[in-house]
Amino acid sequence: MRQFIKFTILAFLTLLVMRGVNGAENSDKNVSLIVPLAPGGIADITARPLAIPLSRELGQPVIVENRIGAGGAVGMAYAAKQKPDGNTLLMALSSILIIPEADKVSGRPQTYTMGNFTPIALVTADPTVLVVRADSPWKTVNDLIKDAKANPKKYSYSSSGIYGTTHVAQAMLWQAAGVDLLHVPYNGGGPSLTALLAGQVNVVAQAPGTAAAQQKAGTVRYLGTWGVDRLKAYPDLQTMKEQGYDVEFYIWSGLFSPAGLSPEKLAQLRSAAKKSINDPGFIAAMGGMNTPIKYLEGSDLEKFIAQDQKRLATVIKNMGKLE
């Protein structure tokens, strides 16, 4: 929490400096960095320290704007409708791929499609972790699964929203394990973790960075990670595959723009994003939260998105229509 406050203050000071440097000519040209999920989640705590070097590289104040609702759909739909002039950017999670598939499964008009966006850069890719309170009786994923099989719907899990990233991650695990837990959705990863800490639910999936302070304080316990490999920060934490469940999921964050950017503006944004993601201050912020940076752009990013979209579509089809 101290680090989050520190970087929020730094972001504010940077914006003041940028206003002073650029003067009145740029005062009406702020860049809005839309975060479609609540403060405290991985999208938010990635966007805020990134806004500092991004403001410097673009020569414009970058203002983080939380537009929450419907598991991220509200903010992403808003960003999709903005002018492709470089003055609106979106810090999206992997839920940007989930929502169009969920709309199809639910028979709803699509809120947006991926064709409404231009991917600028992949910023981070965090293997999700399964989290319980420290006073939970479960020490492993198998402990939880055993009890869940014996008591369908008795145990509950929170998420960032219906069809949100952490909802899909946990649904993926429950499908593989053949168990049924009660889903309690919230408007973001931060509130879903707060629900666990308050004893309102039994378990939650999180990016390691969002629960790192609680893990260090000993108030929560990690049961496993969805990554292919063990996390460097937690070498004793087994993967889901090691515990017998063939699942893989990453809460990745990426920078997007509304589709239709000019080639010149796209090149400028990609250059600014690359320099910002490699900025020592941003690297330190992510390192402090044990969040691994994974920079991709261009065809490499397009390939990454296509692979993840295929994997997530399968899970969502199995989840079916949800209200």
In this predicted structure, what is the pLDDT of residue 192? 94
**Is 239 a domain residue?**
no
**Is 214 a domain residue?**
yes
Residues 65 and 7 reside in one and the same domain: yes
Rounded to the nearest angstrom, the gap between the alpha carbon of residue 320 and the centroid of all alpha carbons in its chain is 22
Tally of domains within the chain = 2
Alpha helices in 134-259 (DSSP H): 141-150, 165-177, 189-197, 208-217
Residues 109 and 143 reside in one and the same domain: no
What span, in angstroms and rounded, lies between the C-alpha atoms of 96 and 168? 12
Backbone angles phi, psi at 280, to 5 degrees: -55, -35
Residues 293 and 183 reside in one and the same domain: no
What span, in angstroms and rounded, lies between the C-alpha atoms of 96 and 117? 10
Residues 149 and 207 reside in one and the same domain: yes
Residue 15 clears pLDDT 70, i.e. is over it: no
Task: Give the domain-ending residue among 207, 225, 243.
Answer: 225
pLDDT digits (tens, 9 = 90+) for 195-221: 999 999 999 999 887 888 999 999 999
Domain that holds residue 187: 127-225
The secondary structure of residue 126, as a DSSP letter, is E
Q: Quote the tokens at residue 283.
A: 């690297």
Residues 91 and 16 reside in one and the same domain: yes
When pLDDT is cut at 50, 70 and 90, the band that residue 190 belongs to is confident
When pLDDT is cut at 50, 70 and 90, the band that residue 28 belongs to is low
**Is 199 a domain residue?**
yes
**Is 244 a domain residue?**
no
Residue 128 clears pLDDT 70, i.e. is over it: yes
Q: Quote the tokens at residue 5.
A: 């406050």
Q: Which of 155, 115, 127 is nearest to 258 (CA)?
A: 115
Q: Is 19 exposed, middle or buried (0-12, 13-18, 19+ CB in 10 A)?
A: middle
Q: Which of 48, 125, 109, 88 is nearest to 257 (CA)?
A: 88
Q: Quote the tokens at residue 110.
A: 């699509």
pLDDT digits (tens, 9 = 90+) for 129-167: 999 999 999 999 999 999 999 999 999 999 988 888 899
Backbone angles phi, psi at 118, to 5 degrees: -110, 120
In this predicted structure, what is the pLDDT of residue 25? 36
Q: Which of 121, 97, 130 is nearest to 231 (CA)?
A: 130
Residues 272 and 186 reside in one and the same domain: no
**Is 236 a domain residue?**
no
Residues 88 and 109 reside in one and the same domain: yes
In this predicted structure, what is the pLDDT of residue 27? 41
What span, in angstroms and rounded, lies between the C-alpha atoms of 115 and 199? 41
Residues 133 and 100 reside in one and the same domain: no
Residues 6+ apart with CB under 8 A from 197: 133, 214, 219, 220
What span, in angstroms and rounded, lies between the C-alpha atoms of 49 and 46? 6
Q: Are 46 and 54 in contact (CB under 8 A)?
A: no
In this predicted structure, what is the pLDDT of residue 49? 98
In this predicted structure, what is the pLDDT of residue 236? 96
What sign for the dihedral angle of Cα 20, 22, 26, 29? negative
What span, in angstroms and rounded, lies between the C-alpha atoms of 37 and 18? 26
pLDDT digits (tens, 9 = 90+) for 214-270: 999 999 999 999 999 999 889 999 999 999 999 999 889 999 999 999 999 999 999
Lowest mean pLDDT among 17-31, 97-111, 255-269: 17-31
Residues 31 and 103 reside in one and the same domain: yes
Residues 132 and 280 reside in one and the same domain: no
Rounded to the nearest angstrom, the gap between the alpha carbon of residue 114 and the centroid of all alpha carbons in its chain is 17
Q: Which of 4, 7, 6 is nearest to 52 (CA)?
A: 7
Residues 192 and 100 reside in one and the same domain: no
In this predicted structure, what is the pLDDT of residue 26? 42
Name the 3-class secondary structure at 266. helix
Alpha helices in the chain (DSSP H): 2-22, 42-58, 73-80, 95-106, 141-150, 165-177, 189-197, 208-217, 263-277, 280-288, 298-319
Mean pLDDT of 308-318: 91
Residues 104 and 132 reside in one and the same domain: no
Residue 24 clears pLDDT 60, i.e. is over it: no
pLDDT digits (tens, 9 = 90+) for 167-182: 999 999 999 999 999 9
Report the CATH number that the domain containing residue 53 is assigned in CATH.
Answer: 3.40.190.150
**Is 219 a domain residue?**
yes
